[in-house]
Amino acid sequence: TKWDTKGDLDESKNLPIYQHKATLQQAVKDNSFLVVTGETGSGKTTQLPQYLHQAGLWGNGKIGITQPRRVAAITVAQRVSQEMHCSLGREVGYQVRFDDCTTQDTVVKYMTDGCLLREILADPVLSQYSVVILDEAHERSLNTDILLGLLKQTLSSPDKASKGRSVPLKVVVMSATLETDKLSVFLGGCPVFTIPGRTFPVTSKFSCAIGPKDTESSVYVKEVVKVALDVHTSEMAGDILVFLTGQSEIEKACDMLYEKAESIDYRYDVQDRKVEGLLILPLYGSMPTDQQKQIFQPPPPGIRKCVVATNIAATSLTINGIKYIVDSGPVSPCLSASEALQRAGRAGRTSAGKCFRIYSQEFWEKCMPKYTVPEIQRTSLTTVILTLKCLGVHDVIRFPYLDRPEERFIIEALKQLYQCDAIDRRGKVTRLGELMVQFPLPPGLTRALLQAASLGCEDLLLPVAAMLSVENIFIRPGHPEKQKEADKKHRQLGVQAGSCNDFTMLLSVFEKCKASDAPSAWCKDNYIHWRALKSAFSVETQLREILLRQQNVSLDFPMEKFDGNKSELFRRCLCTGYFTNVARRSVGKVFCTMDGHGSMVHIHPSSTLFDQEAQLDWVIFHDLLVTSRIYIRTVCPIRYDWVKDLLPKLHEVDVYELSSVARE
């Protein structure tokens, strides 16, 4: 009814940003670069694009808003489409990797920063956009950092900027209250608009329960559950937000909370008579969106809401009504003090709040880094460097980075690109490199996929690439008996594929489920996440489409005529991409990597090959997991002959040559 809509609109008028609507509209009109900052929850992400839309700033193009996280892009687009009274995908839409929910009508488009980077590849001046908003710049995600550099470069050269455009592009960079001066200086001294905030004090309590060495997740999950229940039974009304690191921990914590909350006797235990129940809600990246909606709804009267979330709830998504924070401390790679402050701040949006940290003050003062290390300084740069090269940025060393990565990492990326034939010795992108950059996959995996395509056996590699692109296919229950049963079922699935290794297992799960009449029941029976598998199906279709567009993939890397069996063909294709990840068993269960570092590694217990090490000699693996020891995951036995000719490539690269061409 009429009243409902009014209520909705009023809500957005109460946000701090609303007072500054006209000023912001004008500021964007007047400047090609603008930095906007304000407390989380002030309305930047949901309101500013609407203001620019109302001011007609979209012209005949789109307003694009990037988010480092896909859930944020989707959730916010949903919310804004409601506020603008249109169905999602029409005027307001979103695009994230493997999921495009936009139409011809879309003018306000939320997307991941990775998606915009892809668009820049095809269209360097972003001619479809009138305004680009880079949101959450303080998170310092790799893609946002690169976009900042690219847009700075384009807009600062007038010929480049106006080529193919009727009106100049506007760029707005939004950030929580951090590092805004640095951003402004980087963008040529552009104006910074600060939305005045209103926050309430948050008191902090540290506990010594968890020391810096307690990185075992079961330890801090237990502690977090205990603290959350204490808050529930002893604190006044107000919702709780618990921070943990990943999906499996969150699910574990929710299960434990659920079990314990059931047994609370509200007649005696809860001091504040207004609270009579606990509503437990998980929040993490790969959750179904209908479940996510619930997070934002107020709990029923008398019920306290407890959201157990990843770091996404620190700045990307704001949940109203939170009064208590329980902070577990860990985050990957490492929680910084500034992030911890952000987390605590979530409790003080509408009234005073409390933050319970399950680590000590000493840890906070002595062990936590002050600021988050930008992703660009701690991640593999291969995809980024290839993207830059394909964009014609040849000098990848002197590119305007907001924080320059160490030169040796750039060189390392060039080396990897050279090894998988994406660039040549002179640092120039090859034909293969141009094809590879179109796949949203790690370069080695793309290399293997294209090899398979050139041999006509892409059907073997496409499902594997898709399965490796989604999270958590296999369910490993916490209960030891159940876990044994699940491991056994998984292993059986792998064996049925003819030869048994972790890659064929992925293929086998994919194919068996696809062929099943009742896929969701099949998954349940085999301890597989149906939702994850469903997205793997969709990813596979999309990878196939990219491949089809590239038709006639014929590579100049002839394999000797192939007359082995299918399993061998499959594994040899993998080798062309994964020869950089080769290990050889040295003694007992220990393998030694062949990448020049000679790291000592173990097969991860989740592997089908775990406990069969004695029968293995050479293996390739998909990735490494570093805990107290180094594990290799997703493993496959190979024969030395298959990589013999490839291995010298690991050492022949002339680093000096690559680095000098990088500077040309």
**Residue placing its CB nearer to ligand ADP in the complex, 75 or 416:** 75
Mark 499-538 with x for binding to Mg ion (rule: CB under 5 A) and - for no binding: ----------------------------------------
| Beta carbon of residue 531, minimum distance to ligand ADP (angstroms, whole number) | 20
Alpha helices in 496-639 (DSSP H): 502-515, 519-525, 530-549, 566-578
Residue 115 class from Cβ within 10 Å (0-12 exposed, 13-18 middle, 19+ buried)? buried
Binds 16: which of ligand ADP, Mg ion, none (CB < 5-8 Å by kind): none
DSSP state of 199: -
Using alpha carbons, select from 90, 92, 152, 95 the residue that is nearest to residue 118.
95
Q: Tokens in use for 53?
A: 């839309």
**Residue placing its CB nearer to Mg ion in the complex, 80 or 224:** 80
| Beta carbon of residue 178, minimum distance to Mg ion (angstroms, whole number) | 13
| Beta carbon of residue 38, minimum distance to ligand ADP (angstroms, whole number) | 6
Place of tokens 């921070």: 243
**Residue placing its CB nearer to ligand ADP in the complex, 112 or 508:** 112
Binds 102: which of ligand ADP, Mg ion, none (CB < 5-8 Å by kind): none
Q: Tell me which residue has its CB nearest to Mg ion.
A: 45
Distance CA 77, CA 83 (A): 10
Count the neighbouring beta carbons within 10 Å of the beta carbon of residue 488: 11
Binds 79: which of Mg ion, ligand ADP, none (CB < 5-8 Å by kind): ligand ADP
Residue 45, interface with Mg ion (CB under 5 A)?
A: yes
Interface residue list for ligand ADP (CB under 6 A): 15, 38, 40-47, 75-76, 78-79, 296, 318, 320
**Residue placing its CB nearer to ligand ADP in the complex, 319 or 569:** 319
| Beta carbon of residue 45, minimum distance to Mg ion (angstroms, whole number) | 3
Cα-flanking dihedrals φ and ψ of residue 284, to 5°? -150, 170
| Beta carbon of residue 28, minimum distance to ligand ADP (angstroms, whole number) | 16
* Residue 213 identity: K
Please check whether residue 494 is in contact with residue 502, taking contact to mean a CB–CB distance below 8 angstroms. Answer: yes
| Beta carbon of residue 363, minimum distance to Mg ion (angstroms, whole number) | 29
Residue 342, interface with Mg ion (CB under 5 A)?
A: no
| Beta carbon of residue 296, minimum distance to ligand ADP (angstroms, whole number) | 3
Binds 433: which of ligand ADP, Mg ion, none (CB < 5-8 Å by kind): none
**Residue placing its CB nearer to Mg ion in the complex, 195 or 509:** 195
Three-state SS for 585? Answer: strand
| Beta carbon of residue 7, minimum distance to ligand ADP (angstroms, whole number) | 13
Which whole-number Å values give the CA distances from 488 to 227, 253, 302, 621, 646, in the listed order? Answer: 36, 26, 45, 21, 35
Residue 525 class from Cβ within 10 Å (0-12 exposed, 13-18 middle, 19+ buried)? exposed
| Beta carbon of residue 144, minimum distance to Mg ion (angstroms, whole number) | 13
Stretch that binds Mg ion, among 38-46, 304-312, 480-488, 527-535 (CB under 5 A): 38-46
**Residue placing its CB nearer to ligand ADP in the complex, 38 or 330:** 38
Binds 106: which of ligand ADP, Mg ion, none (CB < 5-8 Å by kind): none
**Residue placing its CB nearer to ligand ADP in the complex, 46 or 154:** 46
Binds 320: which of Mg ion, ligand ADP, none (CB < 5-8 Å by kind): ligand ADP
Binds 38: which of ligand ADP, Mg ion, none (CB < 5-8 Å by kind): ligand ADP
Three-state SS for 20? Answer: helix
| Beta carbon of residue 224, minimum distance to ligand ADP (angstroms, whole number) | 23
Alpha helices in 455-515 (DSSP H): 458-469, 480-495, 502-515
Edge-to-edge strands, sheet with 322-327: 202-210, 353-359, 322-327, 239-243, 303-309, 277-283
**Residue placing its CB nearer to Mg ion in the complex, 68 or 442:** 68
What kind and span of H or E run contains 175? strand 170-175
Across 61-169, the runs of DSSP E, i.e. the strands, are 62-67, 92-96, 99-101, 108-112, 129-134
Distance CA 282, CA 259 (A): 15
**Residue placing its CB nearer to Mg ion in the complex, 44 or 394:** 44
Distance CA 57, CA 522 (A): 51
Number of chain residues interacting with Mg ion (CB under 5 A): 2
What kind and span of H or E run contains 83? helix 70-83
Name residue 93's beta-bridge partners: 109
| Beta carbon of residue 514, minimum distance to ligand ADP (angstroms, whole number) | 33
**Residue placing its CB nearer to Mg ion in the complex, 175 or 416:** 175
**Residue placing its CB nearer to ligand ADP in the complex, 20 or 394:** 20
Cα-flanking dihedrals φ and ψ of residue 39, to 5°? -50, 150
Q: Tokens in use for 443?
A: 């370069």
Q: How far is residue 612 CA from its own chain's centroid? A: 33
Binds 338: which of Mg ion, ligand ADP, none (CB < 5-8 Å by kind): none
Binds 443: which of ligand ADP, Mg ion, none (CB < 5-8 Å by kind): none
Question: Which residue ranges make up the site for Mg ion (CB under 5 A)?
Answer: 44-45
